[in-house]
Structure 1
Amino acid sequence: MMEIKGLKKSFAGKLAISDLSLFIEDNEYLTLLGPSGSGKSTLLRLIAGLEQPDGGTIYLDGETLDNRPAHQRSLGFVQQKYALFPHMTVFENVAFGLKYRQDNPLEDSGEIHKNVRNMLDLVGLSDLENRRVGQLSGGQKQRVSLARTLVCQPKICLLDEPLGALDANLRERMAIELRRIREALQVTFLHVTGNETEALAMGDRVVVLNKGQICQIDKPSKVFATPSSTEVARFVNAYNLFPGEGQESRFSYYHHELPYAGDASRACYYGIRYDQMKISADKAGAACLTAKFITSEFEGARIKYFFERPDTGVFEAEMHLGEGDPMILVQGEEYRVSWSPEDALLFDISGSIMNDSNRTEALQ
């Protein structure tokens, strides 16, 4: 296991990582989610030993990694752009680390062939071992990069946006493969991504990072259903957030009184998930907004509908096609968009989710 305590890092006086502490379990798939500039890649480079921290300590299996060079940390690093040797074959790329690592390099060619071929079998490249890197697709290159890292049996595998350079179909297939490979090897993965869908789908736990600090660590279902702050709700990209003022069991938002199933008196933000909003639904006791329809987006299994907000900007409602036929809406026409007050989340003036024990237990 790995423990990070009070890690700090600045570049030219600008804080990149701020007093960050994190515990990473053995045999865990941990995804790290955050916007560009949040410190995700910096954190990975600090762990790998490619950058030196200004403060704090990183422990691996109870031993500090302070002042230990990158090649002696028993960690693997898979980069977004693969970093493969173009003049070598697939087999030679994967074998490189085994032959030339500083600690315990393998010299027995039979042992090298066995280890490399076992790893190529695992990542599904056993029939491509003699190909050059230039003859491979993006997904195949990513697998070679992963195989080259994992063949050296790292204690933790660090992945810096490993799917970012792939197209949508390849990204989905590689996501499945990454989980399968990790489970087969029982190796801890720390996977950095700016894609919320990827982070939620792949991680046993999700770490949400912003401005060099951890905003929330939890199971994907908890991060999605109960984001700890308005920041996390925005990163999850599934919530409409309306500013206003709470008044006991109601929330005032731009001349609208939105009911809430609890005490809303300290609330400054009202959140509701896209998929919990229903268009033209007349239901007694429902919260609702009447808004002009702007446009819709077809995304395969779901459709997103965009409406003008009463203040500025837009809000959206999402319909999954399994719930019924797509709705045909007229641009510029007003529609009633409603939802259950029990589904709403409230956030206080600092942007933190409000503590309502009864509601939290119900959501969990």
Structure 2
Amino acid sequence: MTSTVLTLSKVTRAYGTLKALDGLDLAVPDNAYVSLLGPSGSGKTTLLRVIAGFETPDAGTVTFKGRRVETVPPHRRDIGFVFQNFALFPHLSVARNVAFGLENREVNPVTDPKVVEAKVRDMIALVGLKGLEDRGVTQISGGQRQRVALARTLVTEPSLVLLDEPLGALDANLRGRMRGELRAIRERCGVTFLHVTGSETEALAMGDTVLVLDQGRIVQADRADALYNRPNSVAVARFLNCYNLFDGSVSDAGFKGPLGTFPLGAHRAPAGGRPGYAIRYDRIDVRPEGAGVAADEVAIPGTFIADEYSGAAVNSFFSLEDGRVFEVESHLSQHEAPDCTPHGRYALVWKRDDALVFA
């Protein structure tokens, strides 16, 4: 059974009348990579600051490794923090940046130069920077600076590492490479990473568990594949940026929305949230207008607007009768993208059991 290293219960943090955290509950497992996904303004940064001890919650409890820590100062929490901008010392070398926390921490600073040197050497090797010890941090790449920042945190052996959008300052190629490196480093260290991001792709790729934050609360906590295939609300489906969404109402007759009534399939989310209907971009077939549909299919007409090629897939955009844009994703490893004529009319078809209905 997986143990829990961090628990937040009913945590609230307000700025005037704005509640950045609103009775938030959170459980972070030990020895795991956890992604925290949320849009701007959802409370991600405030949550990290409360966990790290930079801010004190107005209400609720924060329990870390079995003890309450709401009033414990940051340097006594055994929690590491990797900032988005790395926060390295530009006048120090790679090795001296990594050593800084060991030598200057208030609790149990390491004063033996030989011990510092050995720990720094091992950590630099762990993050793949061997041979760059004497380089200035202004003389290395963005990905290498990211690893220096991580090494500086890990060398102090924290029980939890908070990463605040750690890949946001890197270019696309570096972000892709650093995903694998961060996961490998975490596994070698056996420490929990809590990785905050606004990118749904990054959250799904990185986390053993993905937490979705909305309006100051965790609204879903699940495995990446479960979250992607079964978001539990309209809000979560929207964050994932891979579902076409319709507003409407649910009855025994089906889902009644702006384009008519869709028959209900097998997958209905528990009642309690905003009603809605979702169909994932890659679950849709594009057929000639007027093409027949099977009894288990749903079809709506659309006017082709444009294609967007991304290498492994093509995303096709259609205008619906109510003016909204409807998206279809074709994975080229599975089938060819539809060959559509600009302003042409098509039938957009999906299996009704592939849709998600939020009651």
Deviation per residue, 1:15-71 (Å, 9 max, x gap): 100111111111011110000010011100111011111111111111111221111
Within 1, Cα distance between the matches of 2:305 and 2:156?
Answer: 54
Q: Is 2:102 aligned against 1:98?
A: yes
**Alpha-carbon offset, residue 326 of structure 1:** 2.9
Conservation of the 8 A alpha-carbon contact between 1:208 and 1:215: yes
Conservation of the 8 A alpha-carbon contact between 1:249 and 1:262: no
Conservation of the 8 A alpha-carbon contact between 2:267 and 2:357: no
Within 2, Cα distance between the matches of 1:283 and 1:221?
Answer: 29
The equivalent residue for 2:137 is: 133
Q: Is 2:280 aligned against 1:270?
A: no
SS of equivalent to 2:131: helix
The equivalent residue for 2:242 is: 238
Within 2, Cα distance between the matches of 1:249 and 1:180?
Answer: 50
Structure 2: gaps of 5 or more residues: none
Q: Is 2:328 aligned against 1:317?
A: yes
Q: What amino acid does structure 1 have at the position aligned with 2:302? A: A
Within 1, Cα distance between the matches of 2:163 and 2:292?
Answer: 48
**Alpha-carbon offset, residue 283 of structure 1:** 4.1
Change (3 A) 1:283 1:95: same
Q: What amino acid does structure 2 have at the position aligned with 1:278? A: D
Conservation of the 8 A alpha-carbon contact between 1:293 and 1:329: yes
Q: Is 2:307 aligned against 1:296?
A: yes
The equivalent residue for 2:350 is: 339
**Alpha-carbon offset, residue 185 of structure 1:** 0.4
The equivalent residue for 1:78 is: 82
Q: How does 1:180-195 map to 2 (within 5 A)?
A: 180-195=184-199
Within 2, Cα distance between the matches of 1:328 and 1:192?
Answer: 39
Relative to structure 2, which stretch is displaced further, 328-337 or 169-178? 328-337
Q: Is 2:16 aligned against 1:12?
A: yes
**Alpha-carbon offset, residue 325 of structure 1:** 2.5
Within 1, Cα distance between the matches of 2:120 and 2:190?
Answer: 18
Relative to structure 2, which stretch is displaced further, 238-247 or 192-201? 238-247
TM-score normalised by length of structure 1: 0.92
The equivalent residue for 1:21 is: 25
Conservation of the 8 A alpha-carbon contact between 1:292 and 1:333: yes
Q: What amino acid does structure 2 have at the position aligned with 1:260? A: L
Q: What amino acid does structure 1 have at the position aligned with 2:345? A: E
**Alpha-carbon offset, residue 221 of structure 1:** 1.2
Q: What amino acid does structure 2 have at the position aligned with 1:5? A: S
Within 2, Cα distance between the matches of 1:143 and 1:55?
Answer: 36
Structure 1: gaps of 5 or more residues: 349-364
Conservation of the 8 A alpha-carbon contact between 2:234 and 2:275: no
Relative to structure 2, which stretch is displaced further, 295-304 or 275-284? 275-284
**Alpha-carbon offset, residue 4 of structure 1:** 1.0
Within 1, Cα distance between the matches of 2:127 and 2:26?
Answer: 30
Conservation of the 8 A alpha-carbon contact between 2:57 and 2:70: no
**Alpha-carbon offset, residue 263 of structure 1:** 9.4
Q: What amino acid does structure 1 have at the position aligned with 2:182? A: L
The equivalent residue for 1:361 is: none
Q: Is 2:341 aligned against 1:330?
A: yes
Give aligned pairs, total: 347
CA RMSD in angstroms comes to 1.6
**Alpha-carbon offset, residue 247 of structure 1:** 4.2
**Alpha-carbon offset, residue 249 of structure 1:** 5.0
Conservation of the 8 A alpha-carbon contact between 2:303 and 2:319: yes
Show structure 1 runs of 4+ deviating over 4 A: none
**Alpha-carbon offset, residue 197 of structure 1:** 0.7
Within 2, Cα distance between the matches of 1:67 and 1:200?
Answer: 33
Deviation per residue, 1:294-333 (Å, 9 max, x gap): 1111111011111112213211010000122333211111
Conservation of the 8 A alpha-carbon contact between 1:248 and 1:262: no
Conservation of the 8 A alpha-carbon contact between 1:249 and 1:261: no
SS of equivalent to 1:88: coil
Relative to structure 2, which stretch is displaced further, 83-92 or 328-337? 328-337
Q: Is 2:38 aligned against 1:34?
A: yes
Within 2, Cα distance between the matches of 1:217 and 1:30?
Answer: 10
